[in-house]
Structure formats: C-alpha cells, structure tokens
Amino acid sequence: MDDPRLTPARPDLAAAFLKGRITADRYATGEEFELVDALAPLRQAPSTDAMLLTQALLGERVTIYDRSGDGFAWGQLQGDGYVGWLPDRALARPRAAPTHRITGLRTFGFPGPSIKLPPIETLVLGSTITVTRENGPFAVTDRGWHVPLCHVGDIGHHAEDFVALAEQFIGTPYLWGGKSSLGIDCSGLLQLSLHAAGRRCPRDSDMQQRALGTALDAAAHDDLRRGDLIFWHGHVAIVRDSDTLVHANAHHMATAIEPIRDAVARIGSAGSRITAIKRLA
C-alpha cells in the first residue's frame, strides 16, 4: 500500500505519474515552486488549525498540484517526499539554483553589510540560499540579504559528526513536526543532523527505522556506539556514547541528553519497548 504521507493522491486529485496505479477523479502534472519563507508549515489540511506534519525550509523545492483558493497550496516536498498543505504566500517560482546552505543553528539576513541594521529575516540550519558575491564578512544572496559568512557553507559542505550537530540543539523546545532550532521533534532532529552530514534521511521515525542502518540486537544496550539509533514506536534517539543519548522528546519538552538506561526504563514504564537499534555504516 502506498504511504499517504509520501503519495500525492486524494480521492478527488492525484499526481499524473500515479495514473493507472491510483484512482482519482482527476490528475495533475504539478508545477515546481521554491520556498521563499525562512520556515513554512506543511499541514494535514488547508487550515492554520490543522496538524503540523513537518516544516519546509527556505530554498526547498516543492511540486504543487492544487490550491485551496484561500491561501493554501497542496503538494509534495522534493527533498523527503512529504505531502501536505503549505501557505501559498511561502511559494514562488524557482530562481537560481542554491549555491550555499546555512550551517549555523540560526542566523540573520541583513539588508546591508552591517550587523547594526535590523534583520530582514531569521534563517535556520539547513536552509539553502543563492550567494552572488561576498561583501567583507557577509555572503550576499540573490535577494540582497547579507548573511554572516561564518554561518554559511558551500552547498556541498557536510558536517563530519552528525551527533555533534544534534547536540547543538540541546535546550531547543519540543515541537511536533518541528524542524529547526526554534522547535523540533525527535525525527526532525535526526533528519536535520543527517542531512547536514550529507546523508539522506526520511522524515518520520518509522520511515527512518525501516530505511537507515543495520539492525542490532534490540536487547543489547551494552555494545552501543556513538551514532547508533534507538527506536521506539513513534520515537527515535541518537546515541552519544555507551551511557547517554540525545533526543527531542515530550517528556523534557526539549532536546535533552539522558542516560540510556534511564530513558529505556522511563519510556518502558509508559508501555513502549524498543523496536529496533540500528547502526549506520
């Protein structure tokens, strides 16, 4: 069965490439757009009250198949394939291909080459920008934003240690569907961290459990290494060392470091057992 989170299909409309596989009232080819907001909510329905499924970052490409007529567009993110409703105002026709990405947890886009100017935008880790030139300590984007060079990396730049990247989020508030240092959930933390290290990663923890790494004995907690992943139903944590893990979680309502044994016991007492331990190559 096609996963509805990753399949652009509804009873009334489906992507044209699904014709013959999925039945719908009509089909659409879709059009490519670019995220021009720093952070855009992708929701389950075309309403600001609808559940947040994930977030799209500045520079992401999305294929749009439908519009609600009251400010929402329905489509599929090209990066991880997630399907949902985005605010129409966050979209624009694609311009030049991104050349750089934001490597700091957060940074600012200034209207000129001075940090004393009021920022135009707040940018978050993983956002992509098109840099046209440098101006002193700033990268200047095709929108005219001046972004501190120390927070910008080449589009091919990858972090060496995804766990160290995840650790930078410690203290970030927990947000279901969140994908930035303003608010993040467990699978968003893993996805952002792995993407920053140049590794592909699906969005949700069940997808990640299926797609990532090699399975270890789920009962063997004594042979864990930095970078191993521990999965429960609906949750994932990243192993820091043989004794501790880091995860965004609703218990702390934040990204936190926790002793592995304490986390396993606490989550187990709530009725959830480890479903898998995976080791990345």
Q: Residue 265 — pLDDT band, cuts 50, 70, 90?
A: very high
Residue pLDDT, tens place only, 127-136:
999 999 999 9
Say if CB 142 and CB 95 are below 8 A apart: yes
Say if CB 43 and CB 50 are below 8 A apart: yes
Q: Residue 1 — pLDDT band, cuts 50, 70, 90?
A: confident
DSSP string covering 47-76: STTSPEEEEEETT-EEEEEEE-SSSEEEEE
Q: Is the pLDDT of residue 220 over 80?
A: no
> Between the CA atoms of 31, 142, 125 and 91, what dihedral angle is there, to the nearest 10 degrees?
-30
Q: Residue 223 — pLDDT band, cuts 50, 70, 90?
A: confident
Q: Give the mean pLDDT of 156-174.
A: 96
Q: Residue 221 — pLDDT band, cuts 50, 70, 90?
A: confident
Helix and strand numbers, DSSP H then E, in the chain = 4, 25
Q: Residue 157 — pLDDT band, cuts 50, 70, 90?
A: confident
What Rg do the C-alpha atoms of the chain give, in angstroms? 20
Q: Is the pLDDT of residue 20 over 80?
A: yes
List Cβ neighbours of 179 (8 Å cut-off, separation of 6 or more): 39, 54, 55, 57, 126, 185, 188, 191, 192
H-only helix segments in the chain: 162-167, 186-196, 205-211, 260-269
Q: Residue 218 — pLDDT band, cuts 50, 70, 90?
A: confident
| Location of structure tokens 């992708």 | 42
Residue pLDDT, tens place only, 38-85:
999 999 999 999 999 999 999 999 999 999 999 999 999 999 999 999
Q: Side-chain half-sphere of 18: how many Cα atoms within 13 Å?
A: 21
Residue pLDDT, tens place only, 92-113:
999 999 999 999 999 999 999 9
| Location of structure tokens 């569907």 | 177
Say if CB 130 and CB 84 are below 8 A apart: no
Q: Give the mean pLDDT of 156-185.
A: 97
Structure confidence at residue 72 (pLDDT): 98
Q: Is the pLDDT of residue 281 over 90?
A: no
Looking at residue 177, the DSSP 8-state letter turns out to be T
Structure confidence at residue 219 (pLDDT): 76
Q: Report the C-alpha gap between 140 and 149 in whole angstroms.
A: 9
Q: Give the mean pLDDT of 85-96.
A: 96
Say if CB 201 and CB 230 are below 8 A apart: no
Question: What φ, ψ does residue 237 adopt, rounded to 5°?
Answer: -130, 155
Structure confidence at residue 222 (pLDDT): 76
Q: Side-chain half-sphere of 148: how many Cα atoms within 13 Å?
A: 16
Average pLDDT of the chain to the nearest whole number: 97
Structure confidence at residue 279 (pLDDT): 97
Q: Give the mean pLDDT of 195-217.
A: 97
Q: How many CB atoms lie within 10 A of CB 134?
A: 13
Question: What φ, ψ does residue 265 adopt, rounded to 5°?
Answer: -65, -45
Q: Report the C-alpha gap between 46 and 44 in whole angstroms.
A: 7
Q: Is the pLDDT of residue 231 over 90?
A: yes
